[in-house]
Structure 1
Amino acid sequence: MSPKTSAKRDRTDGRRGVLLTPGRIAVLLLGVLGLVFVFENTHATEIRFLVPVVTTPLWIALLVTGAIGALCGAYFMKRRS
């Protein structure tokens, strides 16, 4: 085995530890808690967006709002870098 091959393996093994950083664990935990919150709130509710009034399960409204927020966050993070 050449030194280049063994160095490459060491870097690959080191990347596995990088997959679970404290920040990623926190984001994953917040995402799971958000989903639990969404699916615990399943009763129907009236939502008014400008003029129309729509009756929909609250979890759909929360999920759509969260998705819009995630897309906005991803857009601004992409523009920043």
Structure 2
Amino acid sequence: MARSSRTDHQQPHTPFLSRPGVRRLAPFVLVTAVAMVFIFENREDVKIRLLVPEVTMPLWGALLIAWGLGVLASVIMLRRHRDRHPPRQK
């Protein structure tokens, strides 16, 4: 008897761009790429006041820190949302 390459317990092939994980990650990758171009095009030094001290640093560094804090806040909020609202049962 000839063996088929696909067994009964395997799911059919899903195209890469149709997978839910890729569809959720694609906007993040696009926004990150645009943000990185914007961040690294701004290279002049700026004075930044951090409550009391005033520091001079490259603008790209300040923008990169702000972007990183935004990503961190998003990850924390997504985890809190996922913990409070478990996935529905089908």
After TM superposition, the score normalised by the length of structure 2 is: 0.72
Q: How far apart, in 2, do the equivalents of 1:70 and 1:27 lie?
A: 10
Query: Are 1:44 and 2:24 an aligned pair?
Result: no
Whichever residue aligns with residue 52 of structure 2, its letter is V
Query: Which residue of 2, 5, 19 maps to 2:7?
Result: 5
CA distance in 2, matches of 1:36, 1:44: 17
Who wins on radius of gyration, i.e. which is larger? 2
| Bigger proportion of residues as helix | 1
- Identical pairs, percent: 31
Over the aligned positions, Cα root-mean-square deviation in angstroms equals: 2.4
Residue equivalent to 1:29: 30
CA distance in structure 2 between the aligned counterparts of 1:77 and 1:15, rounded to whole angstroms: 26
Structure 1 residue ranges without an equivalent (≥5): none
Structure 1: 4+ residue segments shifted above 2 A: 4-7, 23-27
Amino acid at match of 1:16: F
Equivalenced residues, count: 78
Relative contact order higher in (CA < 8 Å, ≥ 6 apart): 1
Q: Distance in 1 between the 2:77 and 2:14 partners? A: 30
Shift of 1:65: 0.7
TM, length-normalised to structure 1: 0.79
